[in-house]
Structure 1
Amino acid sequence: MPNAASPPSPPRRPRGLFLGLATADLTSAVEERPAPNTKVTAISQSLRGGGPALNAAVAFAALGGSATLFAPVGRTALSMAIREDLAEHGVALVDLADLDFTPPVSAITVCTADGSRDVVSADGAGFPLRLEDETWDALDWAAQRCDVALLDGHGGQVALEAGNRIAALGSARVVLDAGRWRKAFSRLLLAADDVVCSADFIVPREADPLERPADGPTIGAPSRDALEAIAAFGAGAVLQTQGAGAIRGLDDGRPFTIDPPAMARVVDTNGAGDIFHGAYCLARAQGSSAQEAGERAARVATFSCGFEGTRAWIEPWQEERAW
């Protein structure tokens, strides 16, 4: 008898490596912000994982990818809330922290009337200064097997070494999340294939390879247009998000513009940028061009703003939308 045909193997899930910040996010939703020295009652409150690298990893996994997060988390009570959140959403964790490490807390207030949010955070305080050899081995192993690696700029020297190692291996597309200028970016930008920056991101003139003044640095002076200044470091694709406004981009020097979808009602914008980055990484891992990836990511990020919190969008998207 002829052998029965073997069932086709399921397609391999895109793999993503995410290195950067993990926070414990305490989020309160309110109908209106309190006036100074007053109190309001929250509509809801939650405690879960947050931070740009973590939220991007969750979005990547929610959209069908296999995500591994390299971040300091630890094993304190706050750490366990982060670990439970990652486990619930299928994100593997390589912990960069000592056992007694306490993750930074972000206190977030979301006004449901317009979706705006206020954040008070320790901004990555306590990130380790160095990693053990076995952790570097784990990062090298993951980098050789993933399609895309995102760094959010947190971690100082650790982030710099990680970016250089991942770029040198050449297996993964290196995506840099550039929310606002950090000292590490002057070298991290050299390792990036793609850069997604915010409207607040400005390359200082003293860091710009083509704009350094001959008479020495001018501290704090902005460089030329952010897209061109970032591209001068060597990134092939650069995108700049502007909240609900148009996304500007360069792809191998070719400019493009993306208009995000309109929304009937915005409930919560917190984490939308991180979700954009995770969706962008997945689209790039699947072979989309920078412009196509930006368009796909904009649809997901916009959709997420219609739900309260950084996770409530996932199930409705999976039920109603085809990625």
Structure 2
Amino acid sequence: MNEYTGLFVGLTTIDIQYFVDSFPTSNRKVKTVPPAILTGGPATNAAVAFSFLNNQACLATAVGSNSFSAFIKNDLKKCSVHHFDLVENQSKNVVLASVVTSLGNGDRTIFTHHPEKIKPEITPAKLLADTNPKILMIDGFYPEFSIQCAQIAKGKGITVVLDCGSWKPQFSQLIPLADVAICSSDFFPPNCSSTIQVFDYLHKNGIKNAAVSRGGKSLLYSDGQERGGMAVEKVAVKDTLGAGDFLHGAFCYYYLDTDFNFKNALKHASKLASFTCRYPGTRDWLKFGN
């Protein structure tokens, strides 16, 4: 196994996940088993997947001082994720996500909120100098900090990967700085209403390789010359929470490990993402991986 330095910049959340037999109708109280309390967030879960394959990863996010700080730090330490807390000495509210997952098919509904604005205690330049990453993944949160990280990485020739979950204004500045964009089916830049238009927009604005994940449907890809679909491995789904994030983290590892072979990296990453859906929550799959 090769080891690379991957840097992931973005959101950390606390996910409170309930499992139900079926989604309830209005005005009902549903009793369940005690919920799982997990550390989540796009960049965080991606870093966990990268570390699973690579034995370590670096994560820059904003946690600060709150009742969940120790819980988050312990979880990241268990996952061999080196945490750079951008607001370590500040009192901050954690981003909470309430998740309801159907035991029937793994579908989930999430209630969450945006993070507070931050004043980082470390500069992007120092972060990049301290980590010296081979690859940088950004999920679009903490835009000013993330844009500066991407600018520095681009100047140093470091590969930049974007997790494009849904359109945010800062993506208009991040996309020209990135090499790869892996998008959800909900990602539509301005004046785009189809995957073809999304791919066209991304390539026009500097993205070399792009993909759109669609849950259990085929993974669509475009490298500027070839466009196509890649079948997603069928598994007995118990939970889809975090699967897209794990796809992004695994892609970053395999992109380096295949010497930047975009399609091969997607294929391997998709297989791992499907594997994670066989287990409840966002950490149980780690016990059963190779």
* 1:88 matches 2:110: no
Which consecutive residues of structure 2, in runs of 5 or more, have no partner in the other structure?
none
Aligned letter for 2:64? G
Q: How far did 1:118 drift? A: 0.5
Alignment size in residue pairs: 287
Percent identical pairs in the alignment equals 29
Which consecutive residues of structure 1, in runs of 5 or more, have no partner in the other structure?
1-10, 206-220, 319-323
Q: How far did 1:288 drift? A: 4.6
Range that drifts further, 302-311 or 72-81:
72-81
Native 8 Å contact 2:164 2:187 kept in 1: yes
Q: Distance in 1 between matches of 2:72 and 2:149?
A: 23
Alignment partner for residue 108 of structure 1, among 81, 88, 99? Answer: 99
1:232-288 deviations in Å (ceiling 9; x for gaps):
11111101111111111112422232101112x211011100010010010012125
TM-score normalised by the chain length of structure 1: 0.85
SS in 1 for 2:284: coil
Aligned letter for 2:219? I
* 1:282 matches 2:253: yes
SS in 2 for 1:298: helix
SS in 2 for 1:150: strand
Q: Distance in 2 between matches of 1:75 and 1:173?
A: 32
Native 8 Å contact 1:26 1:48 kept in 2: yes
Alignment partner for residue 160 of structure 1, among 134, 142, 147? Answer: 147
Q: How far did 1:64 drift? A: 2.1
SS in 1 for 2:54: coil
* 1:230 matches 2:202: yes
Alignment partner for residue 135 of structure 1, among 107, 116, 123? Answer: 123
**Cα distance 1:228–1:65, how it changes in 2: closer, same or farther (>3 A)?**
farther
Q: Distance in 2 between matches of 1:161 and 1:65?
A: 27
Partner of 1:3: none
Instruction: Indicate the structure (1 or 2) with the bigger Cα radius of gyration.
Output: 1
SS in 1 for 2:145: helix
Alignment partner for residue 212 of structure 2, among 224, 227, 240? Answer: 240
Q: CA RMSD in A?
A: 1.7
Aligned letter for 1:278? G
Aligned letter for 2:124? W
SS in 2 for 1:77: coil
Q: Which has the higher contact order (CA 8 A, sep 6+)?
A: 2
1:188-208 deviations in Å (ceiling 9; x for gaps):
000110000011111103xxx
Partner of 2:4: 14
Native 8 Å contact 2:38 2:282 kept in 1: no
1:103-131 deviations in Å (ceiling 9; x for gaps):
110111111111000100113x2141x43
TM-score normalised by the chain length of structure 2: 0.94
Q: Distance in 1 between matches of 2:148 and 2:126?
A: 14
Alignment partner for residue 21 of structure 2, among 24, 31, 35? Answer: 31
Q: Distance in 2 between matches of 1:164 and 1:150?
A: 13
Alignment partner for residue 48 of structure 2, among 53, 58, 63? Answer: 58
Range that drifts further, 186-195 or 27-36:
27-36
